[in-house]
Amino acid sequence: MFRFVVEDAKKFKNALDSIVSLIDEGALDVTPAGLSLKAMDPSQIAMVCFTMPKAAFVEYEVGDSVRVGLNFDNLTKILSRAQGGEKLEVSQEENKIAIRFYEGKSKRSFKIPVLEMPLGAGREPSIAPDSVVKMLGGTLKGHLRDASLVSTHVSLQAEGSGFKIEGHGDSSDLLVEQEKDSPTLIELTSSQPAKATFPLQYLEDITKACPDAVPVTLNLKTNAPLKLEYEVEGAKLSYYLAPRIDSD
């Protein structure tokens, strides 16, 4: 059994949006150290790793570690009903999860079922990046919106001199170039050039929950999965996205 309280219910919903952008259902690990989840999207193209430490909660009571299967789409719809200033209490009651919003003497309660779920996605991939790029979430999301005008895939390319995003469609092309000392780049390190192509819809989905003013880190290696990282409302997110490998 467990029970935890979040000071601002809306912020917890924002954190869980980072999961719902990729999966509808998953197994949440509730441990004395905090919450965590690892899951693959249904197509097995992308993986999300979510951790939210005990320190992110104003109250946190967990006995033995437990894995809880949840419909996150349903959960976030309930959390979207949070009013400004309401606290959130989540607890396990046998085979149900109780969700309570409260402020002062006012309280609203929901209950959702615990689902039977298979084991999680396993270990995170171990990828040593050749290039690491960091920029604000709003900057990257803006580039992806530009790319959506011309293509369904984008190529990400980094080297010591800068970072590029390319998109090529049937009739239009996009090229975004940022030099290493560009004010829109927070950080760029590169031991050797790295380039890979990824499905644009997935990139848009996994960056959707990233606040515009929060840094996002891209770990790139040529024709290898992308590792994309950011934090939201005390939770840390790591996503892995498989590249498209073009055959000659």
Question: Domain locations in the chain?
Answer: 2-113, 131-241
Place of tokens 């040593």: 128
> What span, in angstroms and rounded, lies between the C-alpha atoms of 237 and 48?
7
| Residues 6 or more apart whose Cβ sits within 8 Å of residue 52 | 15, 34, 35, 36, 234, 235, 236
Q: Which residues pair with 136 in a beta bridge?
A: 215
Q: Which residues pair with 189 in a beta bridge?
A: 132
Specify the DSSP class assigned to residue 55: G
Nearest 5°: phi and psi at 15? -65, -45
Identify the pLDDT of residue 119.
Answer: 66
Fold of 131-241: Proliferating Cell Nuclear Antigen (3.70.10)
> What span, in angstroms and rounded, lies between the C-alpha atoms of 9 and 115?
23
Predicted TM-score of the model (pTM): 0.93
For the sheet with 187-190, list strands across it.
Answer: 66-71, 25-31, 34-40, 46-53, 235-241, 226-232, 215-220, 131-136, 187-190
Identify the pLDDT of residue 99.
Answer: 97
Identify the pLDDT of residue 120.
Answer: 60
User: Cα-Cα-Cα-Cα dihedral of 59, 63, 231, 56, to 10°?
Assistant: 10
**CB contact at 8 A, 7 and 87:** yes
**CB contact at 8 A, 134 and 215:** yes
What DSSP element (H or E) covers 209?
none
Other C-beta atoms closer than 10 Å to the C-beta of 119 total 8
Three-class DSSP category at 32 = coil
Largest CA distance in the chain: 67
Supply the Cα-derived Rg of the chain in whole angstroms. 20
Q: Which residues pair with 176 in a beta bridge?
A: 165
Domain 2-113, second-level architecture: Box (3.70)
Identify the pLDDT of residue 248.
Answer: 44
Three-class DSSP category at 70 = strand
Two domains, one topology: 2-113 and 131-241: yes
Q: Which residues of the chain have pLDDT under 70?
A: 119-122, 246-248
Tokens of 82: 């949070």
Tokens of 109: 């309660």
> What span, in angstroms and rounded, lies between the C-alpha atoms of 23 and 21?
6
**CB contact at 8 A, 64 and 245:** no
Identify the pLDDT of residue 117.
Answer: 80
